[in-house]
């Protein structure tokens, strides 16, 4: 298996990465890309299966690119992802943790509450397609349902196809953004041409019949407006227990796709930080306060830093609504020099890091100025976590105390993880 969980074969002397293929099995495959060094492809037939292979739940598995690992049990998926994380920590960071954390996991179907569905009018295939792209990335997969999505949308794929197929604008709707909280489902319809009054009426009727908050997006994100219901101002929200913190957001905002795993992840991070009422905490790449606000219920003060001004405003608003007065949010680009920023001239007892896939190399270059005793690093890319772990251990006088995987995206090659770093005495 490769680090991104593709099978590795040697074909005509060339290393070939094959999506959907497992170690110790024989497959037929289709090429996606070839160059002088390596080739890429995806499995289209299984001649001699691996002992680990199981029957996929979804009839569209193998065509749809929304997930890659329904042919493996959840535990086997986690084992492969843990092995990939261990290997990358060793090769890219030259580090290994003192102990391994138990994987964070939950049931692997119906978990996804945030997604972007492609839409394409294809008369040759009978009309409108709604779903994820095919494995080769070129076309929208022709699917009827999705078992990975929360059933409130996953079982409505056919209904959405039927709806859009009846619209005058069916050829000018390229995508639907999906966002859900515990009680509500929101869909943002991107449309490239103005909608007729008849189309708007049909969309409103569909939203009302299916209890959906339906939004329209004619241009950029700033153009998003709610079509139905139009008489309420309520946002989506989720509650984080046991901290009794509620976080409000709009459907276009970034949130974790897996509500249950997000809750477990927050609980583990706060437990590992061992927060107390005297701690001053720095939350880097804080977003709208997913970790910031629950941490504030345990610490003396939490400072959240985020590049997006809209997220900073939303975090501040959420802190106010939760009556948390020991939180400060600031806008700063953590990939660039921030020497004059006020937060750079403070010290902190603990740090929470939750960067994007590119990691946190730039801010870690000056992390020692904060003098934090403990850092908890939440990562969505084991390669950059491994690189950053090497920097912290080999250059910044930290030790890698613990590490483990988080099964945020079952059935995909995505590896989420958490690591704990302690300052050496």
Residues 94 and 124 both lie in one domain: no
Residue ranges in the chain whose pLDDT is less than 50: none
In this prediction the pTM is: 0.94
Determine which one of 5, 380, 403, 424 is catalytic.
380
Count of domains forming the chain: 3
Residue 69 is assigned to a structural domain of this protein = no
| pLDDT given for residue 136 in this prediction | 77
Q: 285 and 137, same structural domain?
A: no
- Whether residue 221 is contained in a domain is answered as yes
One domain, residues 306 and 180: no
Report if residue 73 sits inside a domain. Answer: no
Note whether residue 61 is domain-resident: no
Domain range spanning residue 141? 114-234
Asked if 294 and 147 sit in the same domain, the reply is no
Does 392 reside within a domain?
yes
According to the model, what pLDDT value does residue 68 have?
A: 85
The pLDDT score that the predictor gives to residue 422 is: 98
User: What is the CATH classification number for the domain harbouring 315?
Assistant: 3.40.50.150
Q: What is the pLDDT of residue 100?
A: 98
Check whether residue 302 and residue 418 sit in a common domain: yes
Residues 184 and 165 in one domain: yes
Question: Looking at 200, 234, 268, which one is the last position of a domain?
Answer: 234
Active site residue 403: no
Sort strands 374-379 and 350-353 into parallel, antiparallel or unpaired.
Answer: parallel
Q: Is residue 372 part of a domain?
A: yes
Are 142 and 194 found together in one domain? yes
Per-residue pLDDT, 209: 97
What sign for the dihedral angle of Cα 53, 417, 238, 298?
Answer: positive
Model pLDDT, residue 115: 97
Q: Half-sphere exposure (CA, 13 Å, Cβ side) for 158?
A: 3
Are both 90 and 132 inside the same structural domain? no
Asked if residue 412 is part of any domain, the answer here is: yes
Q: 392 with 293, same domain? A: yes
Q: Please indicate, yes or no, whether residues 37 and 168 belong to a single structural domain of this protein.
A: no
Assess if residue 246 is contained within a domain.
no
pLDDT value for 203: 98
As a residue count, the chain comes to 425
Same domain, 296 and 368: yes
């Amino acid at each position: 298996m490769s680090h991104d969980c593709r099978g590795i074969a040697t074909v005509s002397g060339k290393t070939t990465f094959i999506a959907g293929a497992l170690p110790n099995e024989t497959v037929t495959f289709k090429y996606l890309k070839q160059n002088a060094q390596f080739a890429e492809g995806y499995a289209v037939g299984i001649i001699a299966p691996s002992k680990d292979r199981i029957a996929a739940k979804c009839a569209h598995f193998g065509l749809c690119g929304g997930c890659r690992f329904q042919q493996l049990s959840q535990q086997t998926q986690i084992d492969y992802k843990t092995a990939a994380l261990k290997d990358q920590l060793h090769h890219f960071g030259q580090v290994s943790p003192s102990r391994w954390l138990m994987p964070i996991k939950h049931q692997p179907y119906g978990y996804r509450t945030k997604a972007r569905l492609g839409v394409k009018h294809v008369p040759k295939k009978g009309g409108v397609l709604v779903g994820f792209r095919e494995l080769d990335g070129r076309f929208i997969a022709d699917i009827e349902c999705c078992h990975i999505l929360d059933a409130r949308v996953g079982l409505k794929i056919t209904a959405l196809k039927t709806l859009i197929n009846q619209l005058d604008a069916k050829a000018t709707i390229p995508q639907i953004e999906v966002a859900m909280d515990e009680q509500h489902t929101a869909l943002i319809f991107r449309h490239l041409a103005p909608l007729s009054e008849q189309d708007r009426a049909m969309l409103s009727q569909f939203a009302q019949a299916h209890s959906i908050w339906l939004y329209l997006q004619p241009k950029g994100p700033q153009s998003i407006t709610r079509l139905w219901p139009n008489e309420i101002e309520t946002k989506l929200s989720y509650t984080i227990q046991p901290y009794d913190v509620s976080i409000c957001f709009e459907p276009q905002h970034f949130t974790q796709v897996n509500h249950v795993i997000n809750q477990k992840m927050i609980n583990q991070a706060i437990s590992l930080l061992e927060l107390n009422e005297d701690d001053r905490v720095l939350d880097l790449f804080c977003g709208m306060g997913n970790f910031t606000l629950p941490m504030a219920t345990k610490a003396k003060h939490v400072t959240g830093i985020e590049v997006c001004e809209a997220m900073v405003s939303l975090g501040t608003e959420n802190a106010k609504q939760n009556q948390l007065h020991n939180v400060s949010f600031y806008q700063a680009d953590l990939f660039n020099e921030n020497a004059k920023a006020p937060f750079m001239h403070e010290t902190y007892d603990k740090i929470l890091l939750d960067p994007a896939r590119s990691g946190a190399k730039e801010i870690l270059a000056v992390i020692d100025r904060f003098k934090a005793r403990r850092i908890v690093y939440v990562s969505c890319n084991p390669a950059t976590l491994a690189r950053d772990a090497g920097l912290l251990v080999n250059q910044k006088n930290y030790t890698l105390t613990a590490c483990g995987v988080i099964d945020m995206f079952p059935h995909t090659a995505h590896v989420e993880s958490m690591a704990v770093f302690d300052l050496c005495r």
